[in-house]
């Protein structure tokens, strides 16, 4: 018999649950302050219950464990919540007047110290954090149809004010307006541009060119990361999020923490482990991936995706759309190798090389109705 599992992430949900049942078996309580709920915890059976990072009154943890609960305590001396219950927001990552004082920068500094002097506690904390991010990302995407999740991969070298940046922004807006949720690696450059376009999708058409002008005043995060971040914050303030629709997702990593995350994703799932982050990003893009010009990182993503499609069952093969014939035939000639790999396999029908981002959108729309 399969037992239904329940996740409880708020005190109100906990109160509702214990008011209607005598057991917490099969229930996970995550990052809840339960210090004032000792009597309720003593009243119910906790055999098989799981407590992740909950605040408990003195002595309660030992009591819960003695009655069959599994208790993961708070982890001291880390600047983040390993058991967090939701993805990040731009406001949370950029929570200080200067980037150097922000939550994002503090966590990156801590992660660098862990690389230099690794600790078991730090390793456990980051692993728990990344697990929690994966779980919360799944919950955030619950209402998004899997075939409407489309990735946009491209390099961080597409600076604000460039044609490449503007093209990526128009692509993100076009995809969002066509009903897709846009996934990126969550960083600067083409990733930021695609998230920006999706962010502005519900606003008037002239919002995008105006936003591009504002952002072009701080083309890159070097040498002045504060000017770069402040320009993005000004755009978000002028064209705020209009509803709870998940128009785009950014999946950055503290492994490349010298590159700050962009502020335009509706949902930001930031990881410590870059391989897990890469796998998560590719796994979530069941509707296909569009590849813009990039360098080593983008090429790596092309062939990680190709490997998955090469071995995938026919129904799980997703479109791969490469934009720019010269880019992918000559500059970085991935296209000839891709077509050679795909010959005679299901993935062959899902490969497309196009001239423009408009062509990429048109191809995906056609493929979705094929």
Stretch 58-78: mean pLDDT: 95
176: pLDDT strictly greater than 90: yes
Q: Is the pLDDT of residue 4 over 70?
A: no
State the Cα–Cα distance between residues 152 and 135, nearest whole angstrom: 22
pLDDT grade for 1, boundaries at 50, 70 and 90: very low
pLDDT tens across 309-364, in order? 999 999 999 999 999 999 999 999 999 999 999 999 999 999 999 999 999 999 99
pLDDT-above-70 percentage for the chain: 98
Statement: residue 9 has pLDDT above 80: yes
Task: Look at residue 2 and tell me whether its pLDDT is greater than 80.
Answer: no
Q: Which residue has the higher pLDDT, 2 or 109?
A: 109
CA separation for the pair 186, 197 (Å, rounded): 13
Tokens 């952002």 -> residue: 215
- Report the alpha-carbon distance of residue 314 to residue 311 in Å, rounded: 9
pLDDT level of residue 39 (50, 70, 90 thresholds): very high
Query: In whole angstroms, how large is the CA radius of gyration of the chain?
Result: 23
Give the position of tokens 């070298």. Answer: 157
pLDDT value of residue 105: 97
Q: Pick from 218, 206, 354: which is nearest to 293 by CA?
A: 354
pTM (whole model) above 0.85? yes
Cα torsion angle, 39, 40, 46, 50, sign: negative
* Averaged pLDDT, 14-25: 96
Q: Which two tokens stand for residue 128?
A: 């728990």
Task: Specify the CATH number of the domain 146-368.
Answer: 3.40.50.450
By C-alpha distance, which of 114, 115, 108 is closest to 94? 108
CA distances from 354 to 4, 61, 199, 340, 364 (A): 47, 59, 25, 18, 11
Given a cut of 70, whether residue 369 has pLDDT beyond it is: no
Per-residue pLDDT of 199-226, as tens digits, reads 999 999 999 999 999 999 999 999 999 9
Average pLDDT over residues 6-13: 95
Q: For the segment 141-162, what is each residue's pLDDT rounded down to a tens digit?
A: 999 999 999 999 998 889 999 9
What does the DSSP assignment read for 17-70? HHTT-SB-TTEEEES-B-TT-HHHHHHSB-TT-EEES-B--TTHHHHHHHTT-E
Residues 270, 250: Cα–Cα separation, whole Å: 8
Q: State the pLDDT confidence band at 370, using cuts at 50, 70 and 90.
A: low
Q: What is the DSSP string of 167-225?
A: HHHHHHHHHHHTTPEEEE-SSSTHHHHHHHHHHTTTS-TTHHHHHHHHHTTS-SSSS-H
The candidate with the shortest Cα–Cα distance to 359, out of 296, 282, 292, 286, is: 292
Q: So what's the pLDDT on residue 367?
A: 79
Residue with tokens 């971040």: 229
Average pLDDT of the chain, as a whole number:
95
Residue 114 has pLDDT above 70, yes or no: yes
Query: Which pLDDT score is estimated for 7?
Result: 92
Strands 181-184 and 149-153: parallel
Q: What is the pLDDT of residue 296?
A: 92
Between vectors from CA 240 to CA 95 and to CA 80, what angle results, nearest 5°? Answer: 25
pLDDT at 3: 52
Mean pLDDT of 102-123: 95
Nearest CA to 284 out of 296, 267, 272, 297 is that of 267
Between CA 293 and CA 360 the distance in angstroms is 13
DSSP string, 264-307: --SEE--BS-HHHHHHHHHHH-TT-EEE-S--HHHHHHHHHHHH
């Amino acid at each position: 018999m399969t037992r239904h599992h329940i996740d409880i992430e708020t005190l109100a949900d906990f109160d509702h649950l214990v008011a209607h049942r005598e057991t917490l078996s099969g229930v996970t309580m995550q990052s809840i302050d339960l210090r004032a709920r000792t009597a309720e915890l003593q009243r119910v059976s906790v055999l098989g219950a799981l407590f992740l990072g909950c605040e408990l009154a003195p002595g309660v943890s030992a009591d819960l464990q003695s009655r069959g609960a599994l208790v993961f305590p708070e982890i001291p001396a880390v600047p983040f919540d390993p058991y967090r219950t939701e993805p990040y927001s731009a406001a949370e990552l950029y929570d200080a007047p200067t980037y150097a004082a922000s939550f994002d920068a503090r966590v990156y500094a801590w992660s660098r110290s862990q690389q230099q002097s690794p600790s078991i506690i730090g390793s456990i904390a980051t692993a728990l954090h990344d697990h929690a991010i994966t779980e919360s990302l799944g919950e955030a995407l619950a209402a998004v149809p899997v075939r409407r999740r489309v990735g946009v991969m491209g390099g961080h070298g597409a600076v604000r004010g460039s044609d490449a940046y503007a093209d990526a922004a128009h692509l993100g807006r076009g995809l969002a307006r066509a009903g897709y949720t846009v996934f990126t690696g969550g960083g600067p450059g083409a990733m930021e541009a695609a998230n920006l376009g999706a962010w502005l999708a519900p606003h008037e058409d002239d919002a995008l060119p105006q936003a591009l002008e504002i952002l072009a005043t701080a083309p890159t995060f070097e040498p002045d990361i504060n000017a770069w971040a402040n320009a993005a914050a000004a755009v978000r303030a002028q064209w705020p999020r209009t509803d709870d629709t998940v128009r785009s997702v950014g999946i950055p990593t503290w492994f490349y923490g010298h590159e700050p995350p962009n502020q335009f994703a509706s949902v930001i799932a930031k990881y410590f482990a870059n391989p897990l982050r890469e796998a998560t990003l590719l796994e979530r893009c069941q509707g296909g991936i569009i590849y813009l010009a990039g360098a080593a990182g983008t090429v790596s993503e092309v062939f990680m995706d190709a490997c998955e499609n090469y071995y995938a069952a026919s129904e799980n093969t997703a479109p791969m759309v490469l934009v720019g014939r010269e880019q992918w035939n000559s500059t970085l000639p991935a296209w000839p190798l891709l077509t050679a790999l795909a010959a005679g396999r299901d993935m062959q029908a899902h490969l497309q090389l196009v001239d423009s981002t408009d062509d990429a959108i048109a191809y995906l729309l056609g493929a979705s109705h094929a």
